[in-house]
Amino acid sequence: MAHNSGTLEKKHAIDKAEQVLYKTYNRFPVIFDHGDGVRLYDTEGNEYLDFGAGIAVMGLGYKDPEFTAALKAQADKLLHTSNLFYNQPAIDAGSRLLEASGMEKVFFTNSGTEAVEGALKIAKRYAYNRDGHGGHEIIAMKHSFHGRSLGALSVTGNDHYQEPFAPLIPGIKFAEFNNLDSVKELIHENTCAVLMETIQGEGGIYPATEEFLRGVRALCDEHDMLMMLDEIQCGMGRSGFMFAWQEYGVKPDVMTVAKALGNGVPIGAFLAQGKAAWAMKPGDHGTTYGGNPFVCAAADTVLRLFEERHLTGHVKKMGDCLWQRLEAFADSHDCVTAHRGKGLIQGLEFNRPVGEIVNKALLDHRLVLISAGTNVIRFVPPLVITENDIDEMIEKLGAAL
């Protein structure tokens, strides 16, 4: 009976949600109540294995005691002051982020989208300073994803997302990811930047090839364009490197981070080095909440715990394990047509839409998976998963198929 009344309460809550919340999502009929490690628990007491991490956000997993303690301590001290004043957590988190990335300046935002907005403004401001006029162009990639604001949407290479909101910001050209010639063809004297994800996430888990990333770096140097890498999904240790570009032996002029930076506390950042680090001036950009003491204490703690626990080393090991298991899975299932990715950002492509598999995995086997595009299942678990968790996931995935 307890179970039945729980089910009724849940139905009631979901009906209410559909009345209240602006419907821009088709949600799964699950209400999560709490989490622990890589496990989530719904309001009816069911346990789930989580391979989505709230879309690559919960790097440290749920209910990490040290992380939670740091949030509570900061909540007791000070939440917000505005950027009219300095605050120590922002200095600490900023220093750690520069140390981890080799960048020179950081600006904290409230989301990934806003980090991308900042990067776009750096590119425009840089070219304006140089040439004394506006009207510059930015090259972005087809099948990319950079966020939902009008600026970030303008560089998101997906007609379906863009069309209802046209006209977007002008001067954006789309090249083919991993096709250097297609970038070259779009460059002319007014091009000021090239923007891309180091590993395309929403587009279906496509890592940049080394040739492509190095080639873009060389083109940017040759034509005085800024190389801007969106590390919002693939950064923060997920690739097995703190930032995915660190594996390639290139360094961007501008990079964006968010998602796992706050482990569930909303914070993003854009970072810049060299000529890009000085492009914007006081008055050019701002935010009320951005970089407040609370969110920066979260980011500072995340960065500290990553280092103390050698999390990138763990990701490399677990990434290899996940790779082997998914290779074997692909070999034994004809419906799997491709396997891509690095570390703990991997994707399996199927010969059909994966919506039904994802749905069944969640509702029948209590495994949280997320798709990337229509035909790809994306595996982006909390970075703290173990080999046993991976084996359990493979078993449940097989059952869902």
Ligand X SMILES: *Cc1c(COP(=O)(O)O)cnc(C)c1O
> What is the number of the residue whose Cβ is closest to ligand X?
112
**Which residues are registered as beta bridge partners of 62?**
37
Q: Does 280 bind ligand X (CB under 6 A)?
A: no
C-alpha 34: how far from its chain's center? 22
C-alpha 346: how far from its chain's center? 13
Q: What's the closest the beta carbon of residue 141 comes to ligand X, in angstroms?
A: 11
Q: How many CB atoms lie within 10 A of CB 188?
A: 9
Stretch of 133-141, 188-196, 225-233, 362-370 lying at the interface with ligand X (CB under 6 A) = 225-233
- Taking the least distance from each CB to ligand X, the nearer of 112 and 290 is 112
- Taking the least distance from each CB to ligand X, the nearer of 261 and 336 is 261
- Taking the least distance from each CB to ligand X, the nearer of 225 and 234 is 234
- Taking the least distance from each CB to ligand X, the nearer of 191 and 233 is 233
* Residue 266: cis peptide before it, omega within 30 degrees of 0: no
- Taking the least distance from each CB to ligand X, the nearer of 94 and 262 is 262
Q: Where are the alpha helices (DSSP H) in 234-354?
A: 293-308, 311-332
User: Residue 68 has which token pair?
Assistant: 């939670």
Residues 6+ apart with CB under 8 A from 339: 323, 326, 327, 330, 346, 347, 348, 349
Q: Is 101 within 8 Å of 303 (Cβ atoms)? A: no
Where in 140-169 is the site for ligand X (CB under 6 A)?
Answer: 145-147
- Taking the least distance from each CB to ligand X, the nearer of 64 and 202 is 202
User: Residue 38 has which token pair?
Assistant: 């890589």
Q: What's the closest the beta carbon of residue 347 comes to ligand X, in angstroms?
A: 13
Stretch of 132-140, 228-236, 243-251, 314-322 lying at the interface with ligand X (CB under 6 A) = 228-236
User: Residue 344 has which token pair?
Assistant: 């703990």
How far apart (Å, rounded) are the C-alpha atoms in residues 177 and 186? 13
- Taking the least distance from each CB to ligand X, the nearer of 39 and 178 is 178
Q: Pattern of binders to ligand X over 1-40, x per CB under 6 A?
A: ----------------------------------------
Among 198, 233, 301, 312, binds ligand X (CB under 6 A): 233
Q: Does 346 bind ligand X (CB under 6 A)?
A: no
Q: Is 233 within 8 Å of 199 (Cβ atoms)? A: yes
Q: Does 232 bind ligand X (CB under 6 A)?
A: yes
Among 258, 265, 362, 400, binds ligand X (CB under 6 A): 258
How far apart (Å, rounded) are the C-alpha atoms in residues 5 and 16? 16
Among 50, 64, 137, 230, binds ligand X (CB under 6 A): 230
Stretch of 84-92, 157-165, 186-194, 227-235 lying at the interface with ligand X (CB under 6 A) = 227-235
User: Residue 275 has which token pair?
Assistant: 């000529």
Q: Look at residues 239, 373, 386 and name the one whose alpha carbon lies nearest to residue 325.
A: 386
Where in 167-206 is the site for ligand X (CB under 6 A)?
Answer: 197, 201-202
Torsion of CA 123, 126, 127, 130, to 10 degrees: -170
Binding residues for ligand X, rule CB under 6 A, total 15
Q: What's the closest the beta carbon of residue 375 comes to ligand X, in angstroms?
A: 18
Helix (H) or strand (E) holding 359: helix 355-365
Q: Pattern of binders to ligand X over 99-128, x per CB under 6 A?
A: ------------xxx--x------------
* Amino acid code (one letter) for 241: F
- Taking the least distance from each CB to ligand X, the nearer of 89 and 118 is 118
- Taking the least distance from each CB to ligand X, the nearer of 226 and 232 is 232
How far apart (Å, rounded) are the C-alpha atoms in residues 254 and 226? 7
- Taking the least distance from each CB to ligand X, the nearer of 110 and 375 is 110
Helix (H) or strand (E) holding 271: strand 268-272
Q: What's the closest the beta carbon of residue 2 comes to ligand X, in angstroms?
A: 37
Q: Does 381 bind ligand X (CB under 6 A)?
A: no
Q: Is 119 within 8 Å of 178 (Cβ atoms)? A: no
**Which residues are registered as beta bridge partners of 106?**
271
What are the residues binding ligand X (CB under 6 A)?
111-113, 116, 145-147, 197, 201-202, 230, 232-233, 258-259
